[in-house]
Structure 1
Amino acid sequence: MTFETLKVTTDGNVCRIVFDRPNAGNALNAKLIAECAEIVARCTAEDSPVTVVAIEGGPEVFCAGGDFEAVSDSGSAGDPAPLYDLWQALADGPVVTVSLVRGRVNAGGVGFLAASDIVIAEESARIGLSELLFGLYPACVLPFLIRRIGRQRANYMTLMTRPLSAAEARDAGLVDVVAENAERAFRQHLARLTLLKKPAIARYKAYLSACRGEPVADREAALAANREMFRDPEVRASIRRYVTELKLPWED
Structure 2
Amino acid sequence: MTYQTIEVRIQEPVCFIRFNRAEAKNTVNDRLIDEFHQVLDVCEQSQTITIVVLEGSPDVFCFGADFEELRMKMTSGKPGAYTPEPTYDLWLRLASGPFITISHVRGRANAGGVGFVAASDIVIASQTAQFSLSELLFGLYPACVLPFLIRRVGFQRAHYMSLITQPISVQQAYMWGLVDAYDDQSESLLHRHLLRLRRLPRTGILRYKRYISELNDSIRTFKTLAVSSNQEVFSDPANLERIFRFIETGQFSSNDR
TM-score (norm 1): 0.82
Kindly provide the CA deviation profile for residues 32-61 of structure 1, in whole angstroms up to 9, marking residues without a partner as x. 01001110121022x431000000000111
Deviation at 1:212, TM superposition (A): 4.9
User: Which residue of 2 is the match for residue 30 of structure 1?
Assistant: 30
Query: Following the alignment from structure 2 to structure 1, what is the Cα–Cα distance between the partners of residues 147 and 83?
Result: 17
User: Which residue of 1 is the match for residue 95 of structure 2?
Assistant: 91
Larger RCO, structure (CA 8 Å, separation 6 or more):
2
Matched residue SS, 1:195? coil
User: Which residue of 2 is the match for residue 178 of structure 1?
Assistant: 182
Deviation at 1:7, TM superposition (A): 0.6
Return the letter of the residue paired with 2:30.
A
User: Which residue of 2 is the match for residue 108 of structure 1?
Assistant: 112
Q: Superposition pairs for residues 4-19 of structure 1, below 5 Å?
A: 4-19=4-19
Q: Which runs of 5+ in 2 are unaligned?
A: 76-80, 218-257
Larger Rg: 1
Q: Superposition pairs for residues 1-252 of structure 1, below 5 Å?
A: 1-45=1-45, 47-75=46-74, 78-212=82-216
Provide closer, same or farther for how the CA distance between residues 151 and 195 of structure 1 changes in structure 2, counting only shifts above 3 A.
same
Mapped contact 2:131–2:173 kept (Cα < 8 A): yes
Kindly provide the CA deviation profile for residues 201-221 of structure 1, in whole angstroms up to 9, marking residues without a partner as x. 1111111112259xxxxxxxx
Kindly provide the CA deviation profile for residues 69-118 of structure 1, in whole angstroms up to 9, marking residues without a partner as x. 11123227721111111100000011000000011110000001000000
Deviation at 1:183, TM superposition (A): 1.1
Query: Following the alignment from structure 2 to structure 1, what is the Cα–Cα distance between the partners of residues 104 and 38?
Result: 20
Q: Which runs of 5+ in 1 are unaligned?
A: 214-252
- Kindly, what percent of the aligned residue pairs are identical? 51
Return the letter of the residue paired with 1:84.
Y
Return the letter of the residue paired with 2:152.
R
Return the letter of the residue paired with 2:147.
P
Deviation at 1:66, TM superposition (A): 0.2
Q: CA RMSD in A?
A: 1.4
Matched residue SS, 2:109? strand
Provide closer, same or farther for how the CA distance between residues 163 and 196 of structure 1 changes in structure 2, counting only shifts above 3 A.
same
Return the letter of the residue paired with 2:58.
P
Matched residue SS, 2:18? strand
Query: Following the alignment from structure 2 to structure 1, what is the Cα–Cα distance between the partners of residues 12 and 178?
Result: 28
Return the letter of the residue paired with 1:57.
G
TM-score (norm 2): 0.80
